[in-house]
Structure 1
Amino acid sequence: MRRHGTSRTTLSWAALAAAGALTLGACGGGDGGKDQPAPGGAEQTPSVALPQLNGEKLEVAAVWTGPEQENFTKVLKEFEKRTGASVTFVPAQDPIVTFLGSKIAGGAPPDVALLPQVGALVSAVQNKWAQPVGPEAQAQLDKNYSAGWKTLGAVGGTQYGVYYKAANKSLIWYNAKAFEAAGVKPPATWKELLTAADTLSASGTPAVSVAGADGWTLTDWFENVYLSQAGPEKYDQLAKHEIKWTDDSVKQALTTLGELFGRKDFLAGGPSGALSTEFPKSVTQTFTGGDRPAAAMVFEGDFVAVNIAQTEAKVGTDALVFPFPAVGAKAPVVSGGDVAVALKPSKGAQALLTFLASADAAAIQAREGGFISPNKAVDPAAYPNDIQRNIAKALIAAGDDFRFDMSDQAPAAFGGTPGAGEWKALQDFLANPSDVAGTQAKLEADAAKAYGN
């Protein structure tokens, strides 16, 4: 499972307010919606014409695993049904640019790849791997996407990608029974979050399950704190490395994050436990064990719902959600996405991009849960429950007023590589949250090398 790291966008402050109200308003009921068929799926009349590709074989690469991969495979099956093509999913590893480079060097690139970072798309274009989208896919983009999402899939003014998947990554999911047992309410500010964490831990349930083994989750923690505390202008500057990671604003954000990470009793398994916990486990251990789970809360995006579905907990009753608390004057909303890019100049690759840009494809995966589409033509009823439906509505309501996730904008060597760059520096910080200056120095040294300045 990789973000989406799902893939991360900064929504407008107005959309944040809407997301908070909608999300909290949806928490009162629902069982995940699996017992009711959602409209907008494959059984409806197709909204996009696709060519016949009888006998053509395609490969699609992405870093998705587990339920996320399984649900995407259902989309590919529908594409096969409509076109007669045969499609194989190829599991990729992070960093995906390195994975694709080895495939291309071996003369066997996949037809289409879904890239979880803007930096990966830029690299694919610079390496002359990517093919511009064809007129049919472009027509779907023009029909179904806001200008901002189209711009994110373009390099140098040429459209190369289709943002198939998005994610709101400013959400904290919580175990309703654990909160009730401790008498805790969802916090709206960082100070309230720390108070709630103290109460939860004192009640015998560690407050937070942190997926420290996956460095990308730690970049999300930092980005939410930084955006809310330092503000969007500083966020933009740091994302472009126009200010250094030794800037005082970074010091403040790390110090704030250390208020949570520095309390061993707040973390499930303490710092060492957090550092050995991968993302899927961080979710499942929060929603097993009744009112005495391994932790009461887990931070991450809407796609957490996919992993909750692997437990007995039900989204909307046992598993509830609140927006990431405000650290500064305004609460953050960070999201992102996976962009589909053709790596072969084939009819089949372009047809698949066209399908992925349609509402038909997105509706199929939306019904399965743990998926949000930036495609504004997707019927909200396709989402399986009110929580995910309203998260999707808030994303669409943001229009073009968003920024993309900071680490995903960075060169992959800094923002998207396991055991290196930002991922490693923040893992070291989780192990020793008191070393703010050392963390800043390491981040700046790695950033300067990766950005070439």
Structure 2
Amino acid sequence: MRIHSSSTIRPHRTVTTLAALLTGALALSACSSSDNKSGKDTTDSGTPASTPTSSTVSLPKLNGTTLEIAAVWTGQEQANFKQVLAEFEKRTGAKVTFVPAQDPIINFLGSKIAGGQPPDVAMLPQPGAIKQAVRQKWAKPLGPEALAELQKNYSQGWQDIGKVDGKQYGVYYKAANKSLIWYNAKVFENAGAKEPKTWKDLLTSAQAVYDSGVTPFSVPGADGWPLTDWFENVYLSQAGPEKYDQLTQHKIKWTDPSVRQALETLAQIWGKKDYLAGGQSGALQTEFPASVTQTFTGGDQPKAAMVYEGDFVQVNIGETKAKVGTDAKVFPFPAVGANAPVVSGGDAAVILKDSKAAQALVTFLASPDAATIQAKLGGYLSPNKSVPISAYPNEVQQKIAKALIASGDDFRFDMSDQAPQAFGGTPGKGEWKDLQDFLRNPSDVAGTQAKLERDAAAAYGSGS
């Protein structure tokens, strides 16, 4: 289930380039003056998100046609995406139903397909899941209209990550910059803490925050995937891109000394009970949305000062009274080694029932028209290079989007998302479970490595 696209093997220089772009971009976060802080479906002007002023994509009339699209998205993210689907309905006459899926979505789809009721389209968050869907003969390749729209609007790297055996199956509708740490600005100000550039600086800032009476970090240990993202950022920066690619493809073992070093580095934070909101046990009961909201509620006395995760955190910040760029600020994940890491992720639209309507929906999702609608709503990042930067509702988001597009093909995709589903994408199993166990007992580095290697070997060997 590994993705073998050219986009995953890049020299160190290119990673550094994007990191530098992001550093400059995020330095402007305090200048942001408009954000979707209410959590409502509005643009920066406070009005409902509107259609792009002109249609760039031709769609067929589909009056009377019904479609289903499945995704694991919930809350505001789901509500925003439904506005995109409403525009497709308006243009085509089709009726589209959003089907909430359980994680891992590949298992959810398997049960739907076994029951003879697959959705027409599914949003798959892992390249490994796309490959599994192809191997199971569930996924259908893109037709000429969708392919043309994709090729017009996406860099080669983003096209390649949606390919299996050279054929295009996925359209990455959503991207993520997963190398960001968000912080409560008032807490940092009260503590005299600085935005860190290096891991050592991060520990210094964390100690200053702790000394001021606030717990430094909110870690969503109840969800395994943010823990894999923590590891990937540390590992990419510390071990370097070549090792990152080798571990991604299981060409080196998880018992490698580079993995030990990364786990020992993580333990400098995860191993300090007083540095985690609720300690290790509390972190293991904290789900991702709560990890964000508890960082930005409570004024200057929140449950934690910092929370690590991607640009999509803005959606959850929007559920609080905090204002992005003023109350909630952000810095790039600090450099652990010579260079700061930049890890990307995303969700791809994949056709499961090949029809004129399903192809039209994916063609629409590959267009700037669809992405522009959701970009205006905030908490969303598109790899579609034809989306105007001005569509993003605040300066923080605009700069992150500009850096993503400027990077072209030069990015590293989320390691666990490229792994076999059984290892890198299943709650209670594989890497998710092993890192949760490590968060529970950060002193057991060797035991964690042994479990990671055992589970990786089983998953990569079976290709599941």
Q: Aligned partner of 2:213: which letter?
A: G
Distance in 1 of aligned mates of 2:243 and 2:48: 42
- The equivalent of 2:386 in structure 1 is 377
Sequence identity (%):
69
Give the secondary-structure state (helix, strand or coil) at the position aligned to 1:113. Answer: strand
> How far did 1:335 drift?
1.2
1:22 aligns with one of 21, 25, 31? 25
Quote how far apart the aligned CAs of 1:38 are. 9.5
Contact residue 9 and residue 242 of structure 2 kept, 8 A: no
Q: d(CA) in 2 for partners of 1:349 and 1:38?
A: 30
SS in 2 for 1:12: helix
**Cα deviation 1:87-128 (Å, max 9, x = unaligned):** 000011111111101100100000000000011000000010
Deviations along 1:294-350, one digit per CA (max 9) or x if unpaired, are: 100000000000000000001111000000000000000111110100100111100
Instruction: Judge conservation of contact 1:61–1:89 (CA < 8 Å) in 2.
Output: yes
Q: CA deviation at 1:407?
A: 0.3
2:234 match: secondary structure = helix
CA contact (8 A) 2:52 2:372 kept: no
SS at match of 1:452: helix
**Residue deviations 1:366-399, cap 9 Å, x none?**
1111100000000000000010111111111110
Q: Aligned to 2:399, what secondary structure does the other structure show?
A: helix
Partner of 1:125: 134
Long gaps (5+) in structure 1: 1-7
Q: 1:295 to 1:151 in 2, by over 3 A?
A: same
Show the counterpart of 1:55: 64
Q: Secondary structure at the match of 1:320?
A: strand
Correspondent of 2:105 among 88, 96, 103: 96
2:210 aligned with 1:207: no
Offset from partner CA, 1:53-93 (integer Å, 9 cap, x none): 00100000011111111111110000000000000000111
Instruction: Find 2:160's aligned residue among 151, 157, 168.
Output: 151
- The 3 A distance-change label for structure 1 pair 9 and 81 is farther
Q: 1:41 Cα deviation (Å)?
A: 5.0
> Is 1:267 aligned to 2:276, yes or no?
yes
Distance in 2 (CA, whole Å) between partners of 1:392 and 1:289 is 30
CA distance in 2, matches of 1:142, 1:44: 22
Q: 1:398-448: CA deviations, max 9, x gaps?
A: 101122110000000000000010000000000110000000000000000
SS at match of 2:354: coil
Task: State the TM-score, normalized to the length of structure 1.
Answer: 0.96
Shift of residue 37 of structure 1? 6.7
Alpha-carbon contact 1:38-1:381 (below 8 Å) kept: no
Alignment partners' CA distance in 1, 2:48 and 2:72: 28
Rate the CA distance shift 1:66–1:40 in 2: closer, same or farther, 3 A: closer
Structure 1 residue ranges, 4+ long, deviating more than 4 angstroms after superposition: 8-11, 37-41
Judged with a 3 Å threshold, the aligned counterparts in structure 2 of structure 1 residues 9 and 42 are, in CA distance, closer, same or farther, namely farther
SS of 2:31 mapped into structure 1 = coil
Distance apart, 1:12 and its partner CA: 2.5
1:427 matches 2:430: no
User: Structure 1 CA distance, aligned partners of 2:245 and 2:346?
Assistant: 18
1:386 aligns with 2:395: yes
Q: Which residues of 2 match residues 222-371 of structure 1 at below 5 A?
A: 222-371=231-380
Corresponding letter in the other structure for 1:135: P
* Deviation, structure 1 residue 202: 1.5
> Is the Cα contact below 8 Å between 1:41 and 1:360 reproduced in 2?
no
**Structure 1: distance between partners of 2:55 and 2:15:** 33
Q: TM-score, normalised by structure 2?
A: 0.94
Q: 1:141 to 1:131 in 2, by over 3 A?
A: same
Residue-by-residue CA offset, 1:132-154 (whole Å, 9 max, x unaligned): 10111111111100011111111
Unaligned runs of 5+ in 2: 1-7, 37-42
RMSD: 1.6
Q: Which residue number in structure 2 is paired with residue 3 of structure 1?
A: none
SS at match of 2:123: strand
- Aligned ranges 1:119-198 → 2 under 5 Å: 119-198=128-207
One-letter amino acid of the structure 2 residue matched with residue 52 of structure 1: K
Q: Is the 8 A contact 2:389 2:401 kept in 1?
A: yes
Match among 109, 112, 118 for residue 109 of structure 1:
118
- What's the CA shift for 1:39? 12
Q: CA deviation at 1:43?
A: 4.4
Q: Displacement, 1:29? A: 3.5
Distance 1:395 1:338 in 2: 15
Q: Is the 8 A contact 1:40 1:378 kept in 2?
A: no
Aligned with 2:27: secondary structure? helix
Alpha carbons 1:170, 1:301 under 8 Å: kept: yes
1:32 aligned partner = 35
Encode CA deviations 1:233-286: one digit per residue, 9 max, x unaligned: 000000000000000000000000000101111111111110000000000000
Give the Å deviation of 1:26: 2.9
Q: Number of residue pairs matched?
A: 446
User: What secondary structure does 1:253 align onto?
Assistant: helix
**Preserved CA contact (<8 Å) 1:39 1:381:** no
| Aligned counterpart in structure 2 of residue 401 of structure 1, from 407, 410, 429 | 410
Cα distance change, pair 317–290 in 1 and its aligned pair in 2 (3 A): same
What is the identity, as a one-letter code, of the residue corresponding to 2:349?
A
SS at structure 2 position matched to 1:390: helix
Structure 2: distance between partners of 1:136 and 1:116: 23
Q: Does the residue aligned with 2:61 lie in a helix, a strand or coil?
A: coil
Letter in 2 for 1:228: S
Q: Is the 8 A contact 2:44 2:393 kept in 1?
A: no
